[in-house]
Structure 1
Amino acid sequence: MTLAGCASTADSEGYYTVQRGDTLYSIGRDFDQSPGDLRAWNRLSNPNDLEVGQRIRVRPPVGVAARTAPTRSAKPAAAARPAAKPASKEKEEAPLAADEKLDWIWPTPGKSAPSADSYKKGIDIAGSSGQSVLASAAGKVTYAGRGIRGYGNMVILKHTPTLLSVYAHNKTILVKEGQTVTRGQQIAEMGDTDSDKVKLYFEIRRNGKPVNPMGLLPPR
């Protein structure tokens, strides 16, 4: 299945019905949950085996804490403020200032361009097989594996309750889910898994939606 946005609607029991084009990554993105958590809650041995019409749990079972829970809890608090809705423009600008304070770095040297895959909103960075892939900012590994079709060996880092970064098509992954990494730490080696050429696919997401990495990365 290809990556596509899902309806983002869960039933009263915390389950979502899989739609055409959904992947574990896209569902996790829309519900602010780690693909690893979704895999565990639903006992999925192969994340690629999702079927249209299948009901999967997207909220933590009773007594189980989600690794991405801070993102969800932040929303009700913001909504409770009387000025939250009228100040929507202000709310959009505030996270940008916080993003810049993370002091992002390029994950690897090389010529960059918008991704050639129409359903991906990040950038492709050309390089050579085995080239170091670094954490663009300090964070926690919420996904490390090859369970999402079209991305190959992929690492997802969560930096703040609203920000995460994606590193795909790696030859080798050097970190594990749940691991904390520092800015500039090597997390993978560049490769061509699920790609027709050696490259790193890099993406930054804010509140589950991709933003232009060029606006956050330093000029070079």
Structure 2
Amino acid sequence: MLGTTRKMKRVACASLLVLLAACGSAPVAPGFYRVERGDTLSKIARSNRQSVQSIVRWNNLTNPDSIEVGQVLRVAPPGGAASTSGAVRSGGNASTSASASAPRAAPADDGAGAAPASAISLVWPADGTVIRRFDGANSKGIDISAAAGTPVVAAAPGTVVYAGNGLRGYGNLLIVKHDAEYLTAYAHNRVLLVKEGASVKRGEKIAEMGDTDTDRVMLHFELRYQGRSIDPSRALPPR
């Protein structure tokens, strides 16, 4: 029974990175919607007078049938761009109208519009060379390469809400919750130096860089706002 309880706790904690449980039920910004139980993308699109295709594009979704309760979706055009809702015009055809008025594909939206640039300030979580940057699609954060054992520090003060290796692809992982909306994740560590529930200060050493569940020594660092990955470089000082 004890083993089952521990396993359930580990699975629940591992889900923090992809669900909004870590962010609670904080209100979403205008133009965004938090997925509720029973929602489908078609239902959300209809409720917001948009097309499914637009919402898929704005949120960079790879599988429109795979949305999760608590996930925050953009449901209004980013930056005031024209909507391609495909609404039927008088005497027109919906699909033809949408196709004709669709703008060129916009760059992947990272949700930055919903997160004030000054809302959180980070320090670099490790010294080293940035070998991969955030693009919102294939990279949900930044990768920093350095020697094994390089100190990994908390980018901002907060509470450790996950410390373990139960999430495939992240190796030894730490997740630090900073407030009701922001959290940071630190992956592939050689060793974790803090436990769940610990309070950490900005710049405090929390792990050592390693290569767990990856093919080279590096730190994969993510910043999440209301459960959604955003570009960490927006909150990091320039190098």
Q: 1:126 aligns to what?
A: 145
SS in structure 2 of the partner of residue 164 of structure 1: strand
Q: 1:75 aligns to what?
A: 27
> Which residue type is aligned with residue 173 of structure 2?
M
Indicate how the Cα distance of structure 1 residues 143 and 152 shifts in structure 2: closer, same or farther if over 3 A, else same: same
Separation in 2 of the partners of 1:132 and 1:158? 20
Separation in 1 of the partners of 2:169 and 2:177? 21
Separation in 1 of the partners of 2:159 and 2:178? 7
Q: Is the 8 A contact 1:115 1:201 kept in 2?
A: no
Q: 2:125 aligns to what?
A: 107
5+ residue gaps, structure 1: 1-22, 34-67, 80-84
1:159 corresponds to 2:147: no
5+ residue gaps, structure 2: 1-10, 33-74, 80-110
Q: Is the 8 A contact 2:26 2:181 kept in 1?
A: no
Which of these two proteins has the greater Rg computed from alpha carbons? 2
Separation in 1 of the partners of 2:26 and 2:231? 23
Separation in 2 of the partners of 1:172 and 1:161? 27
Separation in 2 of the partners of 1:195 and 1:24? 23
Q: 2:214 aligns to what?
A: 195
Indicate how the Cα distance of structure 1 residues 115 and 139 shifts in structure 2: closer, same or farther if over 3 A, else same: same
Percent identity for Structure 1 against Structure 2: 42
Measured after TM superposition, the shift of residue 74 of structure 1 is 2.6
Deviations along 1:128-167, whole A, 9 cap, x unmatched?
1111000000010010001111110000000111101010
Separation in 2 of the partners of 1:195 and 1:115? 17
Instruction: Count matched residues.
Output: 153
Measured after TM superposition, the shift of residue 170 of structure 1 is 0.2
Calculate the TM-score normalised by the size of structure 2: 0.55
Deviations along 1:33-58, whole A, 9 cap, x unmatched?
2xxxxxxxxxxxxxxxxxxxxxxxxx
Measured after TM superposition, the shift of residue 114 of structure 1 is 2.4
Match of 1:32 among 20, 27, 35: 20
Separation in 1 of the partners of 2:134 and 2:179? 28
Q: Is the 8 A contact 1:24 1:148 kept in 2?
A: no
> Which residue type is aligned with residue 116 of structure 2?
L
> Which residue type is aligned with residue 129 of structure 2?
K
Calculate the TM-score normalised by the size of structure 1: 0.60
1:177 corresponds to 2:193: no
Separation in 2 of the partners of 1:119 and 1:141? 26
Separation in 1 of the partners of 2:13 and 2:160? 14
RMSD (Å), alpha carbons: 3.3
